[in-house]
Structure 1
Amino acid sequence: MDVSNHASKFNQWKDTYNWDTCKTNRKEFGQFIAQFLTSESRVINLNGIYGSGKTEFIRRLYVELANLNHPVVYIDVWESDFSNNPLAVICSELLEQIEYVFKEKAPSGKVKDKKNAKEKFNDLKSRLGVCLKYAESAVLFSGDPITIAATKAASKAIEVTPNFNASTQSQKYTETIQKNHIESIQAVKDIKEYLTYLSELIEIIYALNIPIVILIDELDRCRPNYAIEVLEVIKHFFETDGFTFLVATNTEVLEHSVKSIYGVDFDAQLYLRRFFDRKVSLPSVSLIDYLLSRNLDFEKYRKDNVLLYPYVVNQLSNINFFANLFKINKIELREVEQIINRFFATLDYAAKQLTASDILINTVVLMVGLIEHHLDKQVNRSNTSEISFTIEISTGPVVSDPLSSFIESMFDCVTITSGSKCFSESGHSIFPEQRSILRVQSKNFSNVQSDGGKGIANLISEMINYEGNGNCNYWMWEDYQKIIELSGHIE
Structure 2
Amino acid sequence: MTDVLRASKFSEWKEDFNWDTCLTGREKYGNFLVSILTSETNGHVINLNGAWGTGKTELLKRLYVSIAKKQHPVIYINAWESDFINDPLSVICAEFLNQLGYLLANSRPKKELVDINEALNKLMGSISKVAYIFKLSSLGYKAVTGDATLNEEFDFSQTLLDLTTQQNSSSMSLENYNKSIISSMLGNQIDLVEGMKEIRIQITSISHILCDIYGCNSPIIILVDELDRCRPDYAIKTLEVIKHFFDVDGCNFLIASDTESLQESIKCIYGQGFDSERYLRRFFNQKIALKKPSLYNYLLKKGIDFDGMCPNMTLTPYSNDNERKIKLLSEMLNNDKFELRDIERFIQKLTACIGYISKFNVKNAKFINFCVLAYGIYEHEKNVNIFKERTNKMSSHGIHCNGYISNGMSVSNFITIHFKMVTLANSSKRYNLDGGWGSCSYQTEMLTVESQDLQTRDWRREDLIECERLIQNYRNAPNSFLLWEDYQKLIGLTDAIE
TM-score range, shorter chain: 0.7 to 0.9
Is 1:30–2:30 an aligned residue pair?
yes
AA aligned to 2:367 is L
Separation in 2, partners of 1:90, 1:447: 64
The answer to whether residue 273 in structure 2 is matched with residue 265 in structure 1 is: yes
Match for 2:102 among 76, 80, 100? 100
- The answer to whether residue 448 in structure 2 is matched with residue 442 in structure 1 is no
For residues 105 and 65 of structure 1, do their structure 2 counterparts lie closer, same or farther at Cα, with a shift above 3 Å needed? closer
Q: 1:481 to 1:11 in 2, by over 3 A?
A: same
Where structure 2 has 5 or more consecutive residues not aligned to the other structure, the ranges are 140-183
Report the Cα offset of residue 454 of structure 1.
Answer: 6.4
Q: In structure 2, give the amino acid aligned to 1:374.
A: E
Report the Cα offset of residue 373 of structure 1.
Answer: 0.9
Name the aligned partner's letter for residue 373 of structure 1.
H
Give the 5 Å matches for 1:344-363.
Answer: 344-355=351-362, 358-363=365-370
Q: Would you say the 8 A contact 1:358–1:473 is kept in 2?
A: yes
Structure 1 Cα separation of the partners of residues 410 and 250 of structure 2: 57
Q: Distance in 2 between matches of 1:217 and 1:45?
A: 11
Check whether the contact 2:404–2:411 (CA below 8 A) recurs between aligned residues.
no
Partner of 1:433: 442
Q: Determine the structure 2 residue equivalent to 1:204.
A: 212
In structure 2, how many angstroms separate the alpha carbons of the residues matched to 1:104 and 1:396? Answer: 56
Q: CA deviation at 1:226?
A: 1.2
Number of residue pairs the alignment of both structures matches: 446
Residue 461 of structure 1 pairs with residue 479 of structure 2: no
Checking the alignment, whether the CA contact within 8 Å between 1:127 and 1:188 is kept in structure 2 is no
TM-score by length of 2: 0.82
Q: Distance in 1 between matches of 2:124 and 2:427?
A: 87
C-alpha distance in 2 between matches for 1:425 and 1:193 = 78
Shift in Å at residue 21 of structure 1? Answer: 0.7
Tell me, yes or no, if the aligned pair for 1:357 and 1:471 is still in contact at 8 Å. Answer: no
RMSD: 2.9
The Cα shift of 1:349 comes to 1.3
Once residues 124 and 349 of structure 2 are traced to their aligned partners in structure 1, the CA distance between those partners, rounded to angstroms, is 53
The residue that corresponds to 2:225 in the other structure is: 217
Structure 1 match to 2:159: none
How many Å apart are 1:353 and its aligned residue? 0.5
- In 2, Cα distance between the equivalents of 1:425 and 1:371? 28
What amino acid does structure 2 have at the position aligned with 1:99? G
* Alpha-carbon distance, 1:383 to partner: 4.1
Unaligned runs of 5+ in 1: 134-175
Shift of 1:390: 6.3
Task: State whether residues 48 and 290 of structure 2, in contact with CA within 8 Å, keep that contact through their aligned partners in structure 1.
Answer: yes
Q: CA deviation at 1:219?
A: 0.7
Normalising by structure 1, report the TM-score.
0.83
Shift in Å, 1:242: 1.1
Say if 1:360 and 1:110 are closer, same or farther in 2 by CA, change over 3 A. Answer: same
Aligned mates of 1:103, 1:399 — CA distance in 2: 63
SS in 1 for 2:319: coil
Q: CA deviation at 1:397?
A: 11
**CA–CA separation in structure 2 for the residues paired with 1:475 and 1:46:** 46
Give SS of 1:373's match: helix
Map 1:15-94 → 2, pairs under 5 A = 15-40=15-40, 41-94=43-96
1:181 aligned to which of 189, 210, 216 = 189
| 1:363-378 → structure 2 map (5 Å cutoff) | 363-378=370-385
Note the C-alpha offset of 1:207: 0.7
1:422 to 1:329, Cα distance in 2 relative to 1, 3 A: farther
| Matched position secondary structure for 1:35 | helix
Q: Does the 8 A contact of 1:328 with 1:392 survive in 2?
A: no
Question: CA distance change for structure 1 residues 400 and 264 in 2, over 3 Å: closer, same or farther?
Answer: farther
The answer for the alignment partner of 2:297 in structure 1 is 289
Q: What does 1:56-455 correspond to in 2, within 5 Å?
A: 56-107=58-109, 109-111=111-113, 113=116, 123-128=129-134, 180-303=188-311, 305-328=312-335, 330-355=337-362, 358-379=365-386, 380-389=388-397, 392-393=400-401, 400-425=408-433, 427-445=436-454, 447=456
Residues 30 and 395 (structure 1), Cα distance of their counterparts in 2 relative to 1, 3 Å cut: closer
Alpha-carbon distance in 2 for matches of 1:56, 1:28: 15
Following TM superposition, by how much is the alpha carbon of 1:107 offset from its aligned partner in structure 2, in angstroms? 3.7
Is the 2:331–2:404 contact (alpha carbons within 8 Å) kept by the matching residues of 1?
A: no
Between 112-121 and 232-241, report the one with greater CA deviation. Answer: 112-121
Q: Contact between 2:207 and 2:250, CA under 8 Å: does it hold in 1? A: yes
- Deviation of 1:278 after TM superposition, in Å, equals 1.0
Q: CA deviation at 1:190?
A: 1.2
Whether the 8 Å CA contact 2:363–2:481 is kept in 1: the answer is no
Counterpart for residue 141 of structure 1: none
| 1:329, distance to aligned residue in structure 2 (A) | 5.9
In the alignment, the residues of structure 2 paired with residue 206 and residue 14 of structure 1 have an alpha-carbon distance, to the nearest angstrom, of 22
Question: In 1, Cα distance between the equivalents of 2:193 and 2:457?
Answer: 74
1:4 aligns with 2:12: no
